[in-house]
A = this chain, B = another copy of it.
Amino acid sequence: MYEKLKQQVLPQLIVPGSRVLMAVSGGPDSMALAHILWRYVKEMKEQKITLVITHVHHGVREESDDEEKMVKSMARDWEIPCLIHRFDSKEYAKSVGKSFQTAAREWRYACWKEDMRKENCTLLATAHHLGDQAETVLYRLLRGSGTAGLAGIYPQKGELIRPLLSVTKEDILEYCRNENLPYALDCSNEEPIYARNKIRLQLLPELQREYNPKIVETLGRTAEVLRWDEEYLEEGVRAAWKKFAIFSTEHRVGLRGTIFDLPKAMLSRLIRRAATLVSGEPRGIAFHYVEQVMASQGQVGWSQDLPGLKIEIDYQGVWFQRADWGQYINESAGILSPSLPIDANWGEWIPWRDREGQNWQVGLFSLENEADDEDYPGQCVDKVFFDGQGLIRNGDKLQWRYRRDGDSLWIAGLGHKSLKKVFQDAKVPANQRQEIPLLALENEILWIPGVKRGDRYPLRQGGGAVGVLVKR
């Protein structure tokens, strides 16, 4: 198992120079993961990969103290920095309106993200294996899912990697035995009360016994090929969005009426994406609502109230807007409202009107879709290039917003320069400064369209992004 991971999997997931945060609970999966990465780093010294361990003490079970000790001792022996967190689970479950499992998972991921920042890690590795994959595929199938859901867990998504995703639980246990690795067993995983546990402990063994002895591998393969399909479909959706979105903020989205001529795979995804953006619900709207919109066949005058949003079709297109959209309209400031930042989704135009009533659009595109002057003859006012990969890796929300106190632009060789100073140097009148949209990563301004860009995330070989400002 180790040799296969070393040859085929790890080089794909971990680039030289990476600093990997490993989430280690003390169970066999994460102990094996830690050992495998530690061994890989030692054997591949020239790659200059470094490791950090993070462990969460859940405090629900008596064994938690022992687990913490075990993880700490391993980290000491292997000379890997080890961070320990204490999660007061009972307290937490009471305070938030979510299931304990969901709350705990969200808390852990937030914690790890913080660790990554503190430790300058570039990757987070978790110990999900092929059994988890099979369980996820079945869970989603039983609950109702399309290609995206059945594609299961991804081996890599942004900075998150799952090196053991192609490995069975049996292989992991055998590895632990062969390497004499200690581990703890989490008994709450063994109780078939949660749907997922029931799938793992009852359904999967039954399917293996009665239908297919290799069911875990079979489902893992299905997830893999569906992931390929989903990636292809998503690429199609991105291209279609660029072509058919006439308006896009997190409160209101407009798509051309001609989306109804598209193949159903694209039409249904565009509807879902627009509704997700506007409703703010990460899982979007229920499928039968998507079907309702599709059944309208784009007839002008059609409208429908859905939970949290309203959809209307007029001669311009199909409009998705928040149920409380009215309160975001700001006639004088145009579309981008001073109080509300807008996520800078790639490939989307953000409309914006200046004090003189001029209409503008600003957007961020990936290089292969580079919008250039030919697309907007004489109207492309400013264009800057960024290191798109770097922006993605950073992980903070990239937003369009108006100026706030304390905003600054980072200039190479100079450091942070306040926006006030930048505007003064560029001779932008004071009364206009509040009305120029800014591309921001938290308090760091990356670009003042039409005025100046900062020197963070300069374009690099490989993936790139381009910001464009055009007059309409």
Q: CB within 8 Å of B: which residues of A?
A: 141-147, 150, 195, 198-199, 202-203, 207, 210-212, 215, 218-219, 221-222, 225-226, 228-229, 231-233, 235-236, 263-266, 268, 287
Contacts and interface: CB of A to CB of B under 8 A. Distances in A.
B142 A211 contact: yes
Nearest to A211: B142
A228 B150 contact: no
A229 B144 contact: no
**How many identical chains are in the complex?**
2
B233 A268 contact: no
A105 B11 CA distance: 49
A144 B218 contact: yes
27 contacts: A141-B222, A142-B207, A142-B212, A142-B215, A142-B218, A143-B212, A145-B222, A146-B222, A146-B225, A146-B229, A147-B147, A147-B225, A147-B229, A150-B222, A225-B287, A228-B263, A228-B265, A229-B229, A229-B265, A231-B263, A231-B264, A231-B265, A232-B263, A232-B264, A232-B265, A233-B233, A235-B263
A221 B147 contact: no
Contacts of A266: 232
A207 B266 CA distance: 31
A221 B142 CA distance: 11
Contacts of A144: 212, 218, 221-222
Contacts of A199: 211
Contacts of A226: 146-147
B141 A228 contact: no
B146 A268 contact: no
Contacts of A268: 225, 228
A143 B215 CA distance: 8
B195 A211 contact: yes
Contacts of A145: 222
Contacts of A210: 198, 202-203
Nearest to A137: B141
A39 B105 CA distance: 56
Given A231-B265, A264-B228, A219 B141 contact: yes
Contacts of A265: 228-229, 231-233
A228 to B, nearest CB: 4
A284 to B, nearest CB: 13
Nearest to A8: B295
A232 B225 contact: no
Given A141-B219, A146-B225, A228-B268, 15 more contacts: A142-B218, A143-B212, A144-B212, A144-B221, A146-B222, A146-B229, A150-B150, A202-B210, A225-B287, A228-B263, A228-B264, A229-B233, A232-B263, A232-B264, A233-B265
